[in-house]
Amino acid sequence: MSERPELALRAKELDAADELAPLRGRFVLDDVVYLDGNSLGALPVNVADQVADVIRRQWGEQRIRSWEENGWWTAPERIGDRIAPLVGAAPGQIVVGDSTSVNVFKALVAAVRMAGDGRDELLVDATTFPTDGYIAESAARLTGRTLRPVTPADVPAALSERTAAVLLNHVDYRSGRLHDLPGLTAAVHARGALAVWDLCHSAGALPVGLDEHGVDLAVGCTYKYLNGGPGSPAYLYVRRELQDRFDSPLPGWTSHAEPFAMSPAYAAAPGAVRGRVGTPDILSMLALEAALEAWDGVSVEAVRAKSLALTDFFLECVGAYTEPGRVECVTPAAHAERGSQIALRCPDAGEVMKRLIERGVVGDFRHPDVLRFGFTPLYVGFADTERAARVLGELLSR
């Protein structure tokens, strides 16, 4: 379809009125329309120099002294407190370290232990990201529980007095569907079970409200909307009221109450610290800490408002630039059910995404037929959005 000047003009006007538009300058970007921040966030401009300081001065000159003098030892909790307001948590409940998969394992096994022996079933999101399912299956075998996959919509009906814990994704990684965290958490609690949430596709994109909604345990990565870098450490949230009961299946030395006493008997540290395992991965940890400075002065509510505006505008532009029926949106239209991505289904999605990337529009492909576009409001604008839809339309009309 031909170019629509009115859409380009409206994009320009929306960008001019966007209070978050100046934040783009906090990132290293080029002329590419980058709509894959839901896989790997862009590099914040301050990270390279700060990491260079960590390597050259802190490690190169101060060496072992940096554990104390530069705060290396306390980095997992300090950075956890920096993430906390982005997911609606008070300080002292998040520890940073390990991968999402490892933290899912810690959270699930600890949840089963807290639930008690009378509860012999684990529920897991049947549409979950694969690793969550793999870890849940292993945790069930390890603890002698039965694993039952159910869709999030079916969780309330599936709950029973047998349920120990429920593992759910806040946003579905394929479709971008936002699940009802408050309602599902309340349903889980009403049956006496614990709620464990995976926030990988919501943290940094929309308000989460962990404390407000009484979530028991949560995990998430930091390399998507939090822009921490490839493989940056994940985090674990343990609700304050549960911390004294949190019994980690990986009781490493750094979660010991006296880690340098080198005692042969384990005694868990108080608070969220007991979610730690081994020596913190300092280089990636401090790169993440630097990256989180991009959030200084930023409201998650403002980010959410822009996210919805961007995805609404993208859908409007896709409708204008593509032939009816050429693509199908699998992301819910309702704002209450939409994360910060749009997933479009088309038969030749893999080839289409390759051609989009060649034309300077970067999203990603999910098997078998989904084009996935992630909208990071800190650096994606409305002109980017219009251009992406226009290029998509041009490619699909050939």
172 classed as catalytic: no
C-alpha radius of gyration, the chain, whole number: 22
Annotated catalytic residue 12: no
Residue 74 DSSP code: T
Q: What is the DSSP string of 226-288?
A: T---TT---EEEE-GGGGGG---SS--GGGBSSTTT--SS--BPSGGGGG--SS--HHHHHHH
Choice among 223, 235, 373, 379 that is catalytic? 223
Question: Locate tokens 């859409």: which residue?
Answer: 7
* 223 part of the active site: yes
In degrees, rounded to 5, the angle at the alpha carbon of residue 299 between the alpha carbons of residues 294 and 301 is 135
Q: Which of 26, 119, 224, 387 is catalytic?
A: 224
Q: Answer for the pair 194, 204: CB distance below 8 angstroms, yes or no.
A: no
Q: Which of 372, 384, 387, 390 is catalytic?
A: 372
Which among 129, 235, 246, 314 is annotated as catalytic?
129
* Residue 365 bears catalytic tag: no
Name the active-site residue from 18, 98, 198, 384: 198
CA distances in angstroms from 63 to 69, 74, 77, 147, 221, listed in the order given: 10, 16, 21, 47, 28
Q: Any alpha helices (H) in 24-129, and if so which ranges?
A: 47-53, 66-69, 75-83, 100-115
In the residue annotation, 224 being an active-site residue is answered as yes
* Cα 315 to Cα 254: distance, rounded to the nearest angstrom: 48
Size of the chain in residues:
398
Distances (CA, A) of 130 to 126, 127, 155, 286, 342: 10, 8, 19, 28, 20
Contact call for residues 340 and 206 (beta carbons, < 8 A): yes
How far apart CA 287 and CA 336 sit, in angstroms, is 33
Separation CA 308–CA 14 (nearest Å): 13
Q: What is the DSSP letter of 154?
A: G
Catalytic residues: 129, 198, 223-224, 372
